[in-house]
Amino acid sequence: MKNSSLYKGSLTTIIMKLLEENGRMYGYEITQKVKQITAGELTITEGALYPALHKLESEGLLDVEVERVDNRLRKYYKLTESGEKETVNKMAELEEFIRNMQSILSPDVKPGLQL
Amino acid sequence: MKNSSLYKGSLTTIIMKLLEENGRMYGYEITQKVKQITAGELTITEGALYPALHKLESEGLLDVEVERVDNRLRKYYKLTESGEKETVNKMAELEEFIRNMQSILSPDVKPGLQL
DNA sequence: AAATATACCTAATTTTCTTAGGTATAAAAA
DNA sequence: TTTTTATACCTAAGAAAATTAGGTATATTT
C-alpha cells in the first residue's frame, strides 16, 4: 500500500494545521509541503485533497482567493475565524489521539500510571 | 462526536497489538481493554469490531476458538503466524504515522532536523 | 516532440465506520 | 419481582472519507 490506512480521517486536521502555520496556501502547495515535512512518506492524493478543501470551504472554515500566477490559476485557502477556532479543537484531538495510540503501543506507559 | 475521525483506519492495528500483548482475547474483552487503556477516551463500537474481527479471520491473520463460559458463548481470537508477522508491520506503520503527525503538529521538530 | 511539473477538477468504487437494530444469559437495582 | 445493566455475540443500511482513474490546461525540461 502507499499510505497506511492510519492516515484515513487525518486529512482535514493536516490541512487546517498547515494553514494555521502558513497563513494561506493553495492545493498543490499543500501536497508538496506534506511530502517535504514527512520526507516523502505521506502523499496527499488530489482526489482526496480537493473534495476536502471544498467541504471545509462550504462549512465556513476556509476562505478562498483565486489568483493567476504565470498564466495558471491558483486557489489560495486561508482559515476563517471559525476555522481558527476549529483548528484548536483539531489539535487537541490529535494530541489526545497520539497519546492514546502510544498507550496501546507501549502498554507499560499508560497515562497516569505510577511507575 | 464520540470518537474523533482520527481513529478511522486504526482499529485493525489496535486489535492486532492487543492480541500480540495478551495472547488471546474475545471481542467484548477487547472493547473493555481499550476503554481501560485510554481511560474511557476511546470506545470501540461493536458494529465496527465484529466485522473487523471476521475480516482478519478470513484473511488468515486470526484464529478462533469458541468456548462456553457461565453458559455464555465466547469467541477467543489469537494471532496466526502470518498475523504475527503482519502485526510487526502494523506497529512500524503506527510508529511512522505518529512521527509524521508529530512533525505536522510541531513544525520546528522535523525528523532529522539539526537543532 | 515528448515527458514532466504545475494546477485545477470530478465520478465511480472501495474501505471503514456509525447507527440502529437483533438475540440471549446473568447479575444488580428498583 | 420486575426492570435495568452487564455480558456476549451478531448484521444491515447508510454515511464518511478515501482510492483509483480519469479529465483539462499551461510551463518547463528533456
Best residue in B100, B103, B105 to probe A by mutation, most A CBs within 10 Å?
A: B100
Domain CATH for A41: 1.10.10.10
Our CA-based measurement puts residue A9 at a distance from the nearest CA of chain B, in whole angstroms, of: 5
pLDDT digits (tens, 9 = 90+) for B27-45: 999 999 999 999 999 999 9
Is B114 a domain residue? no
Residue B98 pLDDT > 90:
yes
Residue A113 falls inside a structural domain = no
Tens of pLDDT, residue by residue over A53-64, are 999 999 999 999
Residue of chain A whose Cα is closest to the Cα of B87: A105
Handedness of CA A97, A101, A107, A108 (dihedral sign): negative
Residue type, A105: L
Q: Say yes or no to pLDDT of B108 above 50.
A: yes
| pLDDT at position B57 | 98
Provide the 3-class DSSP secondary structure of residue B45.
Answer: coil
Tell me which residue range forms the domain holding A65.
5-105
pLDDT tens-place string over residues A7-30? 999 999 999 999 999 999 999 999
Residue A25: beta bridge partners? A77
Q: Which residues does A27 contact at the CB level (< 8 Å), separation at least 6?
A: A46, A49, A50, A53, A75, A77
- Whether residue B95 and residue A112 make contact (CB cut-off 8 A), yes or no, is no
Total tally of structural domains belonging to chain B: 1
Q: Residue A5: which of B34, B93, B18, B15 has the closest Cα? A: B93
Establish if B13 belongs to a structural domain: yes
Residue for cell digits 486557489? Answer: A75
For the stretch B50-83, pLDDT in tens is 999 999 999 999 999 999 999 999 999 999 999 9
